[in-house]
Structure 1
Amino acid sequence: MAQVQLADGELDYSLQGPEDKPVLVLSNSLGTDRHMWDSQMAAFTEHFQVLRYDTRGHGQSLVSPGTYTVEQLGGDVLALLDALHLEKVHFCGLSMGGLIGQWLGINAGERLHKLVICNTAAKIGTQDVWNPRIEMVLGQGEAAMQSLRDASIARWFTPAFAEANPGETRRVTDMLAATSPQGYAANCAAVRDADFREQLGAIQVPLLVIAGTEDAVTTPADAQFIVEQVAGAHYAEFAAAHLSNVEVGAPFSARVVEFLLR
């Protein structure tokens, strides 16, 4: 583990893989940490130096007070790249990480070679979805995180995967239970307020959008909307729910590598 000092705290990251290869940044979903990408590391480090970090409010990174914005989270990524003297990188983000990727593509495309966004949408959910969750988490604290962990199984994985892979399901959902309630609620606000539907056309970098056929959180229709708005965007869909990188593993990794290397 290593840390970069931001203005208001430390951002935790790890950098693995051959130093002579291009850098690929991986950005976690809401309620997980950088270890949600463990299944991809063997395949990705064959071709890239992989930079994983815990998004503000998650894992070992800072939990700053107040609510967050996706602009703030994107700024954290740019600060991390600057601190590591990385001028240009590939970026892959899932769900909330996909929102961060969209912000980077719109506002800092000059820092990206290629962009992959997975199981995400230009706008995820509504205030009616997010506000009660934020209120519950802030009111109930760790007890709420335990409840969310149990509920997340059905959102994050198909029933068949969860039944066949209880250990992996538990490993990932335990990340949610371990997330700071304050940090989680602050990031819920960032997801709630993000809306890139009118800005997607500004993305000029090569883009791959990945969806899960059984994803009820960010549907294939959400992914296809992004593809339609971004010139030349590529699309891939897997038989998975919300965490497609965990559920389909090797095929997901192979598709990302193929896109980034072409």
Structure 2
Amino acid sequence: MLRPGDAQGMRYLAGGVCQDMARDELSVFTTGDGCTVAYRIDGPPAAPVLVLSNSIGTTMGMWDAQLAALSQSFRVLRYDTRGHGASGAPAGPYSLDRLGYDVVELLDALGLDRVHFCGLSLGGFIGQWLGYRQPSRIDHLILANTAAHLEPRSFWDGRIADVLAAGDLTEIANSFLRNWFPANMLDPLDEAVIPFQAGLLAMNPFGLAGCYAAVRDTDLRATGALITRPTLVVAGEFDTVTTLAHGEFIASAVPGARLVTLPVVHLSNVEQPREFLEATLEFLPG
């Protein structure tokens, strides 16, 4: 298990890029229930903090295409969601409460009172939770390619059983890629997709199953109206997982929320990095 300072020379599969992480680039802290969470901070020390939360099956590396631009204006805090990347992957189901408190405890550990938060897919579930459960910690909120509820429960039970029984994750990885990217990025495999495929194949099955359970057990349809923070919802026109209708529902439920629709499938910041960045920078206060 990683401990502070143990990242020297490790090969880190960043759900985006496999790279050598220097000792001062990757840090970890331990949550109240004993899980280690890996994180990284980039950008000017005095700048407003922007937290980026990854989708299920990826790591903080999914934000690599936006990092250079965002870290010019923001202190960018990325972390690997529990069960992913260099974070711990305890066995058993996870809950959205636990994933949300992982963020709260990380902010507490870093002495951060209030941050902007951007989450995609599972990260967007976490963002919604923070928006209504911890509003004093959130300034502006971006919810990308996400939903308030995904059913049926039996579907998620099947996914959990499949991933825990799989000898390898090849078919599960292929299923993710088909849900994340358009066909023209998969045949042939686009250069941008290759690291995501590798990251999926390296996933800890316990981490994937645990996060499946968190999605299975989450229903935020009645809590959107309780989010009072300025909110941007980004939806994908061709998203078959968290559909455009899911994004429209969130935008209609959250008072004053703004909806931006991009002609993408699921990982909108990867498929259209420039357009995603423009929407983000236009929304966040400079």
Same fold flag (TM > 0.5): yes
- Per the alignment, residue 21 of structure 1 pairs with 47
CA distance in structure 1 between the partners assigned to 2:186 and 2:273 by the alignment? 14
Counterpart of 2:195, as a letter, is: R
1:82 aligns with 2:101: no
- Per the alignment, residue 139 of structure 2 pairs with 113
What is the total number of aligned residue pairs between the two structures? 260
User: Deviations for 1:131-169, whole angstroms, at most 9, x for unmatched residues?
Assistant: 11100111125x1x2211112221101112334762211
User: 142, 156, 163: which one pairs with 2:180?
Assistant: 156
What's the % identity of the aligned pairs? Answer: 42
- Per the alignment, residue 241 of structure 2 pairs with 217
Stretch deviating more after TM superposition (120-129 or 96-105): 120-129
User: Deviations for 1:107-146, whole angstroms, at most 9, x for unmatched residues?
Assistant: 00110010001000000232122111100111125x1x22
Task: Show the 5 A alignment for 1:133-172.
Answer: 133-141=159-167, 143=168, 145-163=169-187, 166-172=190-196
User: Deviations for 1:27-63, whole angstroms, at most 9, x for unmatched residues?
Assistant: 0001111101111101211110100000001000011
CA distance in structure 1 between the partners assigned to 2:85 and 2:178 by the alignment? 22
CA distance in structure 1 between the partners assigned to 2:171 and 2:92 by the alignment? 23
CA distance in structure 1 between the partners assigned to 2:179 and 2:242 by the alignment? 10
Structure 2 unaligned spans of 5+: 1-25
Preserved contact between residue 42 and residue 76 of structure 2 (Cα < 8 Å): yes
Preserved contact between residue 238 and residue 264 of structure 2 (Cα < 8 Å): yes
Note the aligned Cα RMSD (angstroms).
1.2
Tell me the SS of whatever aligns to 1:25.
Answer: strand
CA distance in structure 1 between the partners assigned to 2:91 and 2:164 by the alignment? 12
Tell me the SS of whatever aligns to 1:166.
Answer: coil
CA distance in structure 1 between the partners assigned to 2:151 and 2:269 by the alignment? 21
Q: CA deviation at 1:96?
A: 0.4
Q: CA deviation at 1:211?
A: 0.5
- Per the alignment, residue 95 of structure 1 pairs with 121
CA distance in structure 1 between the partners assigned to 2:147 and 2:171 by the alignment? 25
Larger RCO (CA under 8 A, 6+ residues apart): 1
1:243 aligns with 2:267: yes
- Per the alignment, residue 104 of structure 1 pairs with 130
Structure 1 unaligned spans of 5+: none
CA distance in structure 2 between the partners assigned to 1:125 and 1:179 by the alignment? 24
CA distance in structure 1 between the partners assigned to 2:91 and 2:153 by the alignment? 21
Tell me the SS of whatever aligns to 1:261.
Answer: coil
CA distance in structure 1 between the partners assigned to 2:187 and 2:271 by the alignment? 12
Tell me the SS of whatever aligns to 2:259.
Answer: strand
Q: CA deviation at 1:75?
A: 0.2
Preserved contact between residue 43 and residue 254 of structure 1 (Cα < 8 Å): no
1:228 aligns with 2:252: yes
CA distance in structure 1 between the partners assigned to 2:276 and 2:187 by the alignment? 20
CA distance in structure 1 between the partners assigned to 2:188 and 2:70 by the alignment? 25
1:3 aligns with 2:35: no
Preserved contact between residue 163 and residue 172 of structure 2 (Cα < 8 Å): no
- Per the alignment, residue 58 of structure 2 pairs with 32
Counterpart of 1:65, as a letter, is: A
CA distance in structure 2 between the partners assigned to 1:48 and 1:98 by the alignment? 20
Tell me the SS of whatever aligns to 2:38.
Answer: strand
Counterpart of 1:235, as a letter, is: L
CA distance in structure 1 between the partners assigned to 2:93 and 2:260 by the alignment? 33
User: 177, 196, 217: which one pairs with 2:201?
Assistant: 177
- Per the alignment, residue 63 of structure 1 pairs with 89
Q: What TM-score do the two structures reach when normalised by structure 2?
A: 0.88
- Per the alignment, residue 79 of structure 2 pairs with 53
1:199 aligns with 2:223: yes
